[in-house]
Structure 1
């Protein structure tokens, strides 16, 4: 009997141990399944987020291609979205429709539209609602990238019914700036109220092509039109701005310097990285173009002099530490992106030198940099002399 009891006890313990082991296996299996499921959900959410984020951006921010589409009378939002996607004006028709519902947009106008892949969803929607694009613009004015506010004012004044001086008066009016700050709180911060700024909105008026449908547009409407474009661009890059460690004002400031200092697309991320490396090493940026801007009203020169770089201004990066107090011109999207996505920390160069033809050399040491300058700086003196001759002939 005792032996039978021992056998029963051993059998029970063995069965209990088996059940415990089975339970452990089941729990481990359930844990693996749940972990995999949660991981797949997380990957799906992240992928969906980045896919939607990408779909909300312009198809090609730099494209100037004009695409004509026809929106028939009575078209549904699905038909409009499909037409836009088929013509390469949006990335995804379904997301466009969801965006319309989310924003409660409707009342699109039938007709023929000329749009470009560089338009944001909001710009496309505005055009389809207003029907303005069905008309020929009265004015089509292009502001070249890298122009400062005085040059921008002169371009508009040449085409429209106001003077350069009138434009400058409005764009620098304190009450107007405060009104615009209320409209664009993300873009226009207290940075633009710094008394050291020569032009509070310098760098904030986006350089691009503008269609104007009024015979005599107000200066205020033009300024707002340009700010709207910059605001949309910077809003679309809000995460990159946060990750950069720069404020919006600082991004536009550094981008404006890169715009003026770099001629070719491939050099802009490199030049941006050089400046970031110098900032990280507490070195002065020493940008010629900032010294020129700080001198005010000085016509562009090809060669910087010792007298130029010794003038103490809030823009002269030969004198001040860090970035200039504000932008010196209107940067392109490309230069803005160079600040937000520079070449990378592996590109450790601290100096660069550009020839008049745009070819740029990068170096690690001042000695190497000076050798490059010695070899090519005569080209800048020749350009300076040629510019002087051209001016005398005019």
Structure 2
């Protein structure tokens, strides 16, 4: 190899080495830039998160403070019967008593506050959120309650009409007549379109408002409220309760009318100690297998009278409510149902039973087969 060739090779090696070093330097420089960018982005994101968290914290902290600590103004605020936490929060915000209705809603939920009482209150913008909540929980209202109407669970419309009549010095017939008046019903349907649907006007429905007047105690602050005011208070409560369950009911394929109908069957079949969810499951299992519900309370409702025992001759009544003759749910509710029965209607137990039997002691026995059911019936009912 000549000297000239050696020099050229040496030159080539130096150039390659130089190029490699330059490339490494370039890559090192790029890596530094990337690391710098990542570092800056991390700092920015951290500051942004901290800012949002801090801002959220100070916003909530500020929302919990009185609207005006120095104010001596008293504001008259009315909390309607059946108001939800969201509704109460909005009323308080609109009246300048609290800063933020959403914060009120979540504060109530986190603190597990409940038992808010309807009525008219004298509240001040200088009150803390805790003071406001305490006031509407203890019922520090402006007016004294003139009277109360208590509607127990499992009551039928005729019984509710009698309770209203006794409390308001009216005749039961007069009350029942207005509760079934078509024009009156249409007015209510316009006011509660998400609860009162055309289903209540079906010609097979015995009483349109059956099952829609929620069981609760209703305070009234006037000596002689109109029947419309009384029914409106009850429907306000029904709406506030039932709206929470509508999405779950729809998942089960039930509309509002069907939900209240199924809930009423569970309510009428239940005893104090019974697991309503199991009764609900039996009804679902029967409908899914194409069986009739065959529940005695529907027969009694069709007859329009209460009996301690249903006989075979009673089952022959020709009525769309007689679930020994018709398939599926009856045309409408047969009584008003409480929250426990409504929840059971949308959350049935996971059992395969097709039969249940209420014993004279109040125990309810569940069976998967007719043979098993008849055996229990023979043991606990026939031989009694």
Question: Same fold by TM-score, threshold 0.5 exceeded?
Answer: yes
Task: Extract unaligned runs of 5+ from structure 2.
Answer: 1-10, 53-70, 78-82, 99-112, 124-138
Q: 1:333 aligns with which of 315, 333, 339?
A: 339
Q: Per the alignment, in what secondary structure is the counterpart of residue 128 of structure 1?
A: strand
Which residue of 2 is the match for residue 128 of structure 1?
121
Q: Per the alignment, in what secondary structure is the counterpart of residue 369 of structure 1?
A: helix
Which residue of 1 is the match for residue 374 of structure 2?
370
Which residue of 1 is the match for residue 317 of structure 2?
311
* 1:141-180 pair list within 5 angstroms: 141-180=149-188
CA contact (8 A) 2:299 2:321 kept: yes
- After TM superposition, give the deviation of residue 156 of structure 1 in Å: 2.1
TM-score by length of 2: 0.69
Task: Extract unaligned runs of 5+ from structure 1.
Answer: 42-72, 81-89, 109-116, 383-394
Q: In 2, Cα distance between the equivalents of 1:97 and 1:362?
A: 43
* Residues matched between the structures, number: 315
* 1:155-234 pair list within 5 angstroms: 155-234=163-242
- After TM superposition, give the deviation of residue 312 of structure 1 in Å: 3.3
Does the C-alpha gap of structure 1 residues 217 and 76 become closer, same or farther in structure 2, counting only changes over 3 Å?
closer
Which residue of 2 is the match for residue 322 of structure 1?
328
CA contact (8 A) 1:161 1:216 kept: no
Does the C-alpha gap of structure 1 residues 356 and 137 become closer, same or farther in structure 2, counting only changes over 3 Å?
farther
CA contact (8 A) 2:360 2:381 kept: no
CA contact (8 A) 2:298 2:323 kept: yes
What do residues 78-130 of structure 1 show as CA deviations (whole Å, max 9, x unaligned)?
xx9xxxxxxxxx999xx89964465x13589xxxxxxxx7645xx54x44269
Does the C-alpha gap of structure 1 residues 204 and 2 become closer, same or farther in structure 2, counting only changes over 3 Å?
same
Q: Per the alignment, in what secondary structure is the counterpart of residue 193 of structure 2?
A: coil
What do residues 174-222 of structure 1 show as CA deviations (whole Å, max 9, x unaligned)?
0000000001111101111111000001000112222233333322222
Q: 1:261 aligns with which of 269, 279, 286?
A: 269
Q: Per the alignment, in what secondary structure is the counterpart of residue 275 of structure 2?
A: helix
Q: Per the alignment, in what secondary structure is the counterpart of residue 356 of structure 2?
A: strand
Q: In 1, Cα distance between the equivalents of 2:24 and 2:355?
A: 76
CA contact (8 A) 1:148 1:203 kept: yes
Q: In 1, Cα distance between the equivalents of 2:265 and 2:194?
A: 22
Indicate yes or no: 2:348 matched with 1:358. Answer: no
Which residue of 2 is the match for residue 244 of structure 1?
252
CA contact (8 A) 2:267 2:338 kept: yes
CA contact (8 A) 1:132 1:213 kept: no
CA contact (8 A) 1:107 1:129 kept: no
TM-score by length of 1: 0.68
Moved more, 329-338 or 230-239: 230-239
Which of the pair has more CA radius of gyration? 2
Q: In 1, Cα distance between the equivalents of 2:221 and 2:87?
A: 27
